[in-house]
Amino acid sequence: MSALLSVDDLSVTFGHGADAVQAVRGIAFAVAEGESFGIVGESGSGKSTVLRAICGLAPVSGGRIALDGAAIPAPRRADFYRRVQMVFQDPYASLHPRHTIDRVLSEPLAIHGFGARGARVEAALEDVGLGHGFRFRYPHQLSGGQRQRVAIARALILEPKILLLDEPTSALDASIQAEVLNLLDRLRAERGLTYVLVSHDLAVVAHMCERLAVMQNGRVVEELTRDALRGHAAEQDYTRTLLRASEGFRKDGAT
């Protein structure tokens, strides 16, 4: 299979011995180049841990993660970070409070020895819909939506192929969420990016991803396509519960 990113029988365990907590219990999925793959689940389902494990931020206790068919070495090498980048959930926590936007964006360029940093930073800000007037601001001078745009610009500045999105809009207001989702959509189309998007919001995943996996208690309960989801062709009870819940409250109390 010509998957760009594949995860096979992945397990993640935090802690040791009696305190060990298995956050991910043997999950598998594959994402083709240019595809957008979603992972839906409630808190504690292990969905974010999967992304962190791919990046080397969570301790993998079993299984295989492969990029272009080759297992990713641990610890990650510099070239991995130029191919895979991540956007975090909380834009208020993911930008260094004492660094200007310019520093946030030019530091990865410096680490990887890119030239023409100033021009690249300006272009990156332009790409995410922020003018160059934002370049020398501090994060606290920005709104949540603007911060998340900066975080997206930071993830894209090394020109990666794969973007891991960990609840990229759940900390934002609905109207800002729409803007950020549109931005992500446009960037993917323009650059042929591959997305793995994690969210608790079924509607966001259905909007952004062609294929999705539903996770519960560290396992994938069901994998289905967007069309199957729209056609209410979910096979598992849990998926159907999530679908129903996403429609809002019902007076008859049936949840």
Is the alpha carbon torsion for 19, 23, 27, 32 positive or negative?
A: negative
Query: Is there binding between residue 107 and another protein (CB under 8 A)?
Result: yes
Among 10, 202, 209, 212, binds another protein (CB under 8 A): 202
Q: Within positions 110 to 129, which residues make up the interface with another protein, using CB under 8 A?
A: 111-112
CA 12 to chain CA mean position, Å: 18
Asked whether the beta carbons of 127 and 187 are under 8 A apart, the reply is: yes
Q: Does 203 bind another protein (CB under 8 A)?
A: yes
DSSP 161: S
Amino acid of residue 58: A
How far apart are alpha carbons 47 and 49 in whole angstroms? 5
Residue type, 21: V
Q: Which of 28, 158, 224, 228 binds another protein (CB under 8 A)?
A: 158
C-beta closer to another protein: residue 13 or 28: 13
Is residue 83 within the footprint of another protein (CB under 8 A)? no
50 sits near another protein (criterion: CB under 8 A): no
Interacting span for another protein (CB under 8 A) from 7-15, 17-25, 60-68, 99-107? 99-107
Question: To the nearest whole angstrom, how small is the minimum distance from the Cβ of residue 28 to another protein?
Answer: 23
CB atoms under 10 Å from CB of 56, counted, come to 17
Rounded to whole angstroms, the Cα distance separating 120 from 33 reads: 25
Q: Report angle CA 77, 186, 66 to the nearest 5 degrees.
A: 30
**Taking contact as CB under 8 A, which single stretch among the options 30-38, 63-71, 81-89, 121-129 is the one that binds another protein?**
81-89
Least distance (Å) from another protein to the CB of residue 21? 15
Contacting another protein (CB under 8 A), which of 69, 182, 237, 240?
Answer: 182
Q: Which is nearer to another protein, 2 or 230 (CB)?
A: 230
For residues 46 and 20, give the distance between their C-alpha atoms in angstroms, rounded to a whole number. Answer: 14
Using CB under 8 A as the binding rule, whether residue 66 contacts another protein is answered as no
Contact assessment for residue 37 and residue 195, using Cβ atoms and an 8 Å cutoff: yes
Q: Please tell me the distance from the alpha carbon of residue 6 to that of residue 66, in angstroms, as a whole number.
A: 5
Residues that bind another protein (CB under 8 A): 42-43, 52, 55, 57, 78, 81-82, 85-86, 88-90, 93-100, 102-103, 107-108, 111-112, 133-134, 136-138, 141, 144, 151, 154, 158, 173-179, 181-182, 185-186, 200, 202-204, 206-208, 229-230, 241-243, 245-251, 253, 255
